[in-house]
Chains A and B, each alone.
Chain A
Amino acid sequence: MKVSYNWLKDYLDLTTAPKALAEKITRTGIEVADVAQKSAGLKKIVVGHILSCQPHPDSDHLNVCQVDVGEDEPFQIVCGASNVAVGQYVVVALPNSRIADNVKIKKGKLRGVVSMGMICGLQEIGFADSVVPKVYVDGIFVFPEAIEPGTEVYEALGMTDYIIDLDLTANRADALGLHGVAHEVAAIESLTPHFEDVVVTESDVQTADHLAAYVADEQLAPSYHLRMLQNVTVQPSPMWLQTRLWNAGIRPINNLVDVTNYMMLTYGQPLHAFDADTLKGDHKQVEVRLAKAGEKLTTLDEAEHALTHEDIVITDGHQPIALAGVMGGLNSQITADTKNVIIEAAVFEPTAVRKTAQRHNLRSDASSRFEKGVNIADVQTALDAAAAMMADLGHGQVTAGIISPTNLIPSDKVIEIEADRINRVLGTELATQTIVELLERFGFGVANTDNRLTVTIPPRRWDIEIQADVIEEVARLYGYDNLPSTLPTGAMTTGALTPEQKALRQTRHTLEGAGLTQAISYALTTPEKARQFTLVDSALTALDWPMTQDHAHLRMNLITGLLDDAAYNVARKQTNLALYEQGRVFLKQTDDQVRPTEIEYVAGLMSGNRQTKTWQTAAAPVDFYTIKGVVELLMTSYNLSDPISYQPTQAYPEMHPGRTAAIYVGKQLVGFVGQIHPAVAKANHLKETYVFQLDLAQILALPTQTVIAKPAPKFPAVTRDIAIQVASQVSNAAIVEAIKAKGGAHLASVELFDVYAGSHIEAGEKSMAYTLTYLNETATLTEEEVNAAFEKVVAELVATFDAKIR
């Protein structure tokens, strides 16, 4: 809502300067987005009187004008506008002037003819296209009346006025009219607004003899009123009216339409004017009803709309002539030839107006007001004021009587509240009298009975309904900045993260410690991506009405997001990647399950080099064992009771069939780790890429072991190395298991330190070398004890795997 400071001064004896007032308005309740004068930054732009206008000798569209700009001699100015003509009073940018966008105008030559400046269109001095009167959109602006040449144009064009741009919240539609804003500013400034009474002079002609109106369902238009004017003359509005409109962001059209807009700006009450003679029949009918299927209406913007039975329309008894509260129909619009006018002032059902405006993509100044509500006390006032002004500006007569098929009787609202309650909510200690005075500044009636306040709210503040609303009025006028600043007291609470929240953080820290950077990807994805890399079977969850197909389904894995991230990075030559994501997947056990289960997962991705080439070390590419090391580190960090094992799996079609391990805790499958299938990698424009994905929720629910401290061993450990040659398909896990099974009571650990397969060994065989560490925590181990235990292991390996000891 663009509010003119000068217009406000019609109602208030303002003394506070515009910018200071804007800051006060912001701090009291309505955010001011901007305060500006249109003339700011402009220089040397004056009224010129065109004394002569001759075609340019070397041009088919330029004219050479002699223009009186208030100097001793006329200035010669070359003008390219098609509407330039002798006798006009126009906007002249003199040499060395500054026009919009900080453009400087200099004396120059146009095709050899000296031009002392420029004759301007309104856009050239900073007006938006959308507010310039249609006749001047493509040419220069022409003043409707004579103005002393050489006078600066700013005053005449309303450009010195300060425009305060209010950013209104949805509840403050009362400030969508200047009267409402005046009440607000009056409260802030402790002033009393004065509004002129509306006086309508009616003719002897009875409106009812010419016009009837019906509202099919009172819900659609609970308050509906029509007035009629006869014998009006359509012409441009006077300058004062035009400037007020364009300063408010509305294009002046003609005196009738301008009046409806002016009254909308004044009262916040949208009005509509119909050309009465375009309605069917002699005795005119206006009907408010829901549209019928198949009905069409071409609105003022010349767009045709197929109406639905949810649209409220105004008809002339035969066909729609307006979309109620949204936009008028082209068929009944005011034209230059209009003689008789019907003015409509109404209250329409807000939701229907909003939905109609949305459905037909027709949000207008009117619809945005109707959908938020209007002051029901001013509906007829606005109608009367419009009729009176139209009669005045259009030299017509207002017929006698208003046609009102529906009407709302405005009434005050009464809210009772203890002064103490206000202080208790705000944390203040305001005297009751102070509270009363604050509320009275809004123009509310306040009765105080033993600190119990009875607050009477006029209809113009329909946003105030409950005690909390009254408390807010007190608070904001008292000033939020003046409220004390404390912290909540009362019963103590302990703040702490839950064990699960701690574990999620620990998971992140562990992975970051292992060199992985956290990614956050989109949870909405394509069905193909949603379905890949799933740990368990799940039905897909789809959005009903997605914005794009790329984000239309809920993810069921975290890896595809990381693959997107990897592809994005690789495309930007970032090829050494170590990323993880911790977040939720959305799973459904069956298609019948409506609400998906949200499960915390964690996934990682590594690609390229884990170690880049340095002066000391060669580059080392990421491989299966790199990422497995990360997973092992992470899994160990949970301190789970059950053993963790890795088993080869081909269960995941997107993973490499020979390089993927399913991860088990005890017998529970909790995730997988491995290389993504080369075909999948290729499809994502990736090279060798390794990933893991874990069901974190499941892991965090598993039993953990409690640490019971033991002293560091007092007796030395003894080690024995063994290298065996076995068939290449024998797994490390099987060998270690066998060693442990026969290792004896003192075998403390088994560490693999070498794996070899190659030219020094028979084909189909490999060599594996382990260090076995023996430790007796209560005594020194003897050679004999260790040898005996070691021999058992050797014998077992020979027997079980046909191992050759090397």
Chain B
Amino acid sequence: MSLKEQLENLRQTSLQEIQKVVDLDALNQIRVEVLGKKGPITEVLRGMRNLSNEERPKVGAFANEIKSDLAEAIETRKAELEAKKAAAQLAHETLDVTLPGQSIKKGTPHVLTQVIDDLEDLFVGMGYQVVAGYEVEDERHNFEMLNMPANHPARDMQDTFYITNDLLMRTHMSPNEARDLENHDFKNGPIKMISPGRVYRRDTDDATHSHQFYQMEGQVIDKNITMADLKGTLEYTIHHIFGEDRDLRFRPSYFPFTEPSVEVDISCFRCDGKGCNVCKQTGWIEVLGAGMTHPNVLKAGGVDADVYGGFAFGLGIDRFAMLKYGVDDIRNFYLNDVRFLNQFTQEG
């Protein structure tokens, strides 16, 4: 067999072996055996001494060609095997991605807080300040300054938790309006305030009554505030809370501290105004009371009612939450059953 034939044989057998091999170690073994210093090619090349000067370069070139072919075949095969191995590894690592993830617990803000925060953000965005006030109030701020003089029916003992003759648990958030009127200096601009907070009434707790609940009052007092401004503000607020698609109905009403007074209804979101048990078959749900601040209230707060005027509004946070989320028993808000609380998982 000529050297050339030997080389050709070598190429064929080695290529076959390379194709057959299935693991990287064996492939490396082949590389060492075939291309190594003690390998057959080297052996063949050693025999070149006996060749003529003419043939020697040709055989040498041929040998180098085979060497590089085999090296390339080995590299190709190596890449193939590595890819296979990697694929096998990944297949081995496959997880059941439907198993539950590690639970990370986040607490839930109380639904009443969510409603309050939402309203605060809305009004802060419109340039209002948030005022807290006192849960224990005096008669002057809770009643007297709000055009409810002594003997006014709203001041009856049975509706109010009195502490002394003069001190009581505030029955609404309006005392903060009186306090603001009292303390405000119009040199610093108009009054634009809201006041959400806890109020108390002498009620027996049942599905629709609670001796403790939350209200939010708001007022704007300036030189040129109109009832149209009140209407626009209320529309904006109610649409924000209950959705743009609600129809609103503005009804004249009566509160001692506003004149004119208004109550606002929204079209029932359960039946869309057709009549159902949520809206007591009327198609409307009352959500809010408001009005133009009564001159007596302005005067009691030391504000010149001929120069300044404005509006005030009040709404029940619990009521809003009950309507918005379909809560049918107000006691749920204060029993703190975690199964109840945790359904309101995110501010919305």
Interface residues, chain A, CB within 8 Å of chain B?
A: 26-31, 33-34, 169-172, 351, 354, 358, 371, 424-428, 466-469, 471-472, 475-476, 480-481, 483-498, 501, 505, 508, 511-524, 541-548, 551, 554, 565, 568-569, 572, 574, 577-580, 583-584, 586, 594-596, 598, 611-612, 614-617
Contact = CB atoms under 8 A, between A and B. Distances in A.
A31 B251 contact: yes
A495 B129 contact: yes
Nearest to A542: B163
B259 A468 contact: yes
A728 to B, nearest CB: 34
A181 to B, nearest CB: 15
Nearest to A513: B106
Contacts of B161: 524, 543-547
B212 interface: yes
A496 B334 CA distance: 29
Contacts of A515: 105-107
Given A508-B113, A518-B107, A472 B192 contact: no
Contacts of B158: 358
A598 B136 contact: yes
Contacts of B263: 31
Given A485-B231, A492-B127, A511-B107, 20 more contacts: A26-B249, A172-B254, A425-B226, A427-B228, A471-B260, A476-B252, A487-B236, A490-B224, A495-B124, A496-B124, A497-B130, A501-B130, A517-B110, A524-B161, A524-B169, A546-B161, A554-B136, A565-B336, A569-B337, A616-B102
Contact of B226 (A172, A424, A497, A611): A424
Contact of A520 (B138, B292, B333): B333
A537 to B, nearest CB: 19
Contact of B189 (A476, A486, A493): A493
Contact of A489 (B224, B261, B341): B224
A497 B120 contact: yes
B125 interface: yes
B118 to A, nearest CB: 12
B348 interface: no
Contact of A472 (B226, B259, B334): B259
Interface in B324-348: 333-339, 341-342
Interface string B257-285: 00111110000000000000000011000
Nearest to B156: A358
Interface string B118-144: 001001111111101011101000000
Taking each of B99, B110, B157, which has the highest tally of chain A beta carbons within 10 Å of its own beta carbon? B110
B200 to A, nearest CB: 7
A475 B192 contact: no
B252 A426 contact: no
Contact of A491 (B108, B189, B200): B189
A609 to B, nearest CB: 11
A500 to B, nearest CB: 9
Nearest to A515: B105
A508 B336 CA distance: 16
8 contacts: A475-B227, A475-B252, A483-B250, A486-B226, A488-B190, A492-B127, A518-B109, A520-B113
A548 to B, nearest CB: 8
B319 interface: no
Given A541-B136, A569-B336, A578-B105, A522 B212 contact: yes
A501 B123 CA distance: 14
B51 to A, nearest CB: 63
B153 A354 contact: yes
B223 interface: yes
Contacts of B22: none
B135 A584 contact: yes
Contact of B200 (A26, A520, A524): A524
A725 B281 CA distance: 77
Contacts of B231: 427, 480, 483-486
Contacts of A469: 259
B175 interface: no
A522 B192 CA distance: 30
A27 B107 contact: no
Contact of B190 (A481, A491, A546, A551): A491
B107 A517 contact: yes
A493 B249 contact: no
A29 B229 contact: no
B117 interface: yes
A521 B220 CA distance: 32
B235 interface: yes
Contacts of A520: 110, 112-113, 333-334, 336
A23 to B, nearest CB: 9
A371 B342 CA distance: 48
A491 B164 contact: no
Contacts of B292: 425, 468, 471
B47 to A, nearest CB: 60
Contacts of B252: 27-30, 472, 475-476, 480
Given A29-B252, A468-B259, A523-B135, A495 B222 contact: no
B203 interface: yes
Contacts of B211: 522, 524, 547, 551
B109 A512 contact: yes
Taking each of B151, B226, B236, which has the highest tally of chain A beta carbons within 10 Å of its own beta carbon? B226
B334 A522 contact: yes
Nearest to B200: A524
B87 interface: no
B26 interface: no
A33 B309 CA distance: 32
B103 interface: yes
Given A472-B252, A472-B261, A524-B211, A547 B202 contact: yes
B225 to A, nearest CB: 6
Contacts of B341: 517-519
B128 A579 contact: no
B106 A426 contact: no
Contacts of B260: 468, 471-472, 475-476
A548 B212 CA distance: 13
Contacts of A27: 249-252
Contacts of A424: 224, 226
Taking each of A489, A579, A580, A595, which has the highest tally of chain B beta carbons within 10 Å of its own beta carbon? A595
B301 interface: no
Contact of A544 (B112, B135, B164, B254): B164
A468 B109 CA distance: 42
Interface in B207-246: 211-212, 220, 222-229, 231-233, 235-236
Contacts of B86: none
A466 B258 CA distance: 12
A390 B220 CA distance: 56
Nearest to A371: B153
B89 interface: no
B157 to A, nearest CB: 6
Contact of A426 (B151, B220, B228, B254): B228
B59 to A, nearest CB: 60
In the A-B complex, list the 3 residue pairs whose CB atoms are closest, starting with the nearest.
A427-B228, A427-B226, A472-B260
Contacts of A596: 136
A521 B336 contact: yes
B99 A493 contact: no
Taking each of B99, B161, B220, which has the highest tally of chain A beta carbons within 10 Å of its own beta carbon? B161
Contact of B228 (A484, A522, A578, A616): A484
A508 B109 contact: yes
Contacts of A542: 163
B338 A569 contact: yes
A763 to B, nearest CB: 39
B223 A490 contact: yes
A382 to B, nearest CB: 24
Contacts of B342: 517
A616 B96 CA distance: 13
Contacts of A489: 224, 229
A518 B108 contact: yes
Interface string B164-177: 10010100000000
